[in-house]
Amino acid sequence: MRHPKLAALTVALTAVLVMPVTQSVAQPFPFDPGSFGNGSTGSLGGDDPDIPIENTLPQLSVTTLVDGLDHPWDVVAAPDGAILTGQRSGGFFVRRGDNTTGPVSADLSDLYAQSETGLMGIALARDFAQSRTLYTCQGFSAGGVTDVRVISWTVDAGWTALTRTGT
């Protein structure tokens, strides 16, 4: 070593700076997991106030908008009130703002749908109201290649057809 005193000083300073940090991080978290649940209140310890734990569920109302779909995996709501979903095995279905429903045609001839892949995700472009562009994440298979791709599409004003614009 060229500078043994400098090396020793570096090691000593590192130890002095790191030791307090490791000691403060290694302290146990002061709470009793058994104090939570059953509608009781619990405390995280120290001077923290009690945190109420509620055992009630919110009231929910479920309305079926579309049924008979085969493994719908994603749903997007467009600014015009349309709700679009895709089916894992291929195919799009829409509920338009005027409450009419129907399939949306699209060329999914290269869709790979097996096991946990298929037509998986749908996202509207930030400028969807102007561009009518949306994206899908889907299994792809063509020319001996099988992978997952993001595909861009445009949808017509009537929500009847998607046209592929890129991968």
DSSP secondary structure string, 90-132?
A: S-EEEE-TTS-EEEEB---TTB--STT-SEEEEEE-TTHHHH-
Instruction: Return the amino acid letter for 66.
Output: V
Instruction: Read off the pTM.
Output: 0.64
Q: Predicted confidence band at 129 (pLDDT cuts at 50, 70, 90)?
A: very high
Q: Where are the domains of the chain?
A: 4-52, 72-166
Which of residues 125 and 1 earns the better pLDDT score? 125
pLDDT tens-digit readout, 136-157:
999 999 999 999 999 999 999 9
**Smallest Cα–Cα separation from 137: which of 154, 116, 158, 123?**
123
* pLDDT score of 42 more than 50: no
